[in-house]
Structure 1
Amino acid sequence: MVKRILNDLEEGIISFLLASMTLLVFVEVILRFVFNTGLMWAQEMTLLLSAWMVLFGVSYGVKVGSHIGVDAIVRLLPRNAKRVVSAIACLLAMVYCVLIIKGSYVYLMKMRMIGLEMEDLPVQRWIAQSILVIGMLLLGFRLVQLFIRILRDKADGFSLHDESKDARGMYEAIKAEEEENKAAGGAK
């Protein structure tokens, strides 16, 4: 139940960020090109919403397997070797997350100490950019989950999006449609 609530919350936040960003850009375009005015803070807010969406989306992409990857060599390995390589990749990615979290934390604390605000928004810079730490914590959490699944033999490695499979499926669908059109045209 808690897992489902967290998943729904994560998807809801990403959806909210995307919808907010889209609506803000739409309003800004209408204001600029129809009314010859605009919102001074819209560009900065759009960039901020985009950054938050991307950094939330990175961990979500690991969870649902929507990232692409170069795994041609890994696919050739036997299952156990694939698991070892994937576990090492998880560990290296977790080290990367720790380094980014540490650097981001230092940066955010300096911004907090200095007291800088965003250029066009009355928001402290460290608060607006806190997604640097939050996003990497979420990514690290997903990597730990995957690492545990690999150790428990419930996963071979990263679930990667297979673009070539998608392309083959689209090609086959187009060919099938062409054949149907030929058959329908020949029946007349």
Structure 2
Amino acid sequence: MFLRILDRFEETFISFLMVSAVVIIFVAVCQRYSISLLADLVSWARANGHESLMAMARSTYRSVVSLNLLWAQELCIYLFVWMAKFGAAYGVRVGIHVGVDVLVNSVGPRWRHLLVVISLSSGALFTAIVAWIGGKFVYGIAQTAQVSADLEVPVWIVYLAVPSGSLLMCFRFLQALMNFIQTGHLPQHQPGADLMDETERGVSESEGARA
């Protein structure tokens, strides 16, 4: 039950970060180009004597300029940092990390088992160390009043992505290690496998309803 909730939270959180970053970037870019287009429209309307159009364009220009989106770039950077850390943990869970397995595949089953255990244990140890060091750093910076430049949020909230993401990644390494010891299988991601399963399920349901 806990693992199912954690998996769902991980996927939802990463999706939320991605959607938020895309929406913020889209709005910021639209505002930037709208300012330029509205300024050109005001100039064109003035040159051609369209007073009503010029007034409307000028009013819209002032409204768009008044929107303060200077914080958008900074927020998107922070969102991508959090997305990268939690995305790395998700990659360990589903087995989509790039790995060099030439040596592992060239040895016998016994040595392969040992090498996989060593690599997973090393990954868990490394991410645990990063989480520990990151946690100490976050705790230290939380004692200060340092805030970010544009958003003016406490900096420790931004850096919290390092220990939390690394801790989750360490848990995923340990989860993969225990699963490998018990079953001998590693997480394997097969693109399109979920879609194929859903298609086959739909075909089976259709045939069952037809029968």
> Which runs of 5 or more structure 2 residues have no equivalent in the other structure?
37-64, 192-211
Contact 1:59 1:135 in 2 (8 A): yes
- What is residue 175 of structure 2 aligned with on the other side? 145
Shift of 1:160: 7.0
C-alpha displacement at 1:108, in angstroms? 0.9
Deviation at 1:161, TM superposition (A): 7.7
Question: In 2, Cα distance between the equivalents of 1:151 and 1:63?
Answer: 15
Partner of 1:122: helix, strand, or coil? Answer: coil
Q: Distance in 2 between matches of 1:154 and 1:116?
A: 48
Aligned residue number for residue 46 of structure 1 = 76
Give per-residue Cα distances to partners, 1:38-90, cap 9 Å, x unaligned: 61111110000001111010010011111111111211222221111011111
CA distance in 2, matches of 1:66, 1:147: 16
Correspondence list, 1:63-78, <5 A? 63-78=93-108
Distance 1:29 1:79 in 2: 54
Cα deviation, 1:123-160, whole Å, max 9, x if unaligned, reads 110012201011001000000101111222332x4647
Q: Note the residue ranges of structure 1 that are not aligned, 5 or more in a row.
A: 163-188
Partner of 1:29: 29
Percent identity between the two aligned chains: 29
Instruction: Give, in whole Å, the separation in 2 of the partners of 1:113 and 1:146.
Output: 36
Q: Which residue of 1 aligns with 2:126?
A: 96
Aligned partners of 1:7 and 1:160: how far apart in 2? 15
Q: Does 1:117 align with 2:147?
A: yes
Which whole-Å CA distance do the structure 2 matches of 1:135 and 1:153 have between them? 27
For the pair shown, the structure with the greater C-alpha radius of gyration is 2
From 143, 153, 156, the equivalent of 1:126 is 156
Partner residue of 1:10? Answer: 10
Do the aligned partners of residues 58 and 51 (structure 1) sit closer, same or farther apart at CA in structure 2, a change above 3 Å counting?
Answer: same
In the alignment, what sits opposite 1:85?
115
1:176 equivalent in structure 2: none
Closer, same or farther: CA 133–24 of 1 in aligned 2, 3 Å? same
List per-residue Cα deviations over 1:94-140 (Å, max 9, x = no partner).
22112211221121122111221111113110012201011001000
- The answer to whether the 8 A contact 1:25-1:42 is kept is yes
Report the aligned-residue RMSD.
1.9
Q: Greater RCO between the two (CA within 8 Å, min separation 6)? A: 1
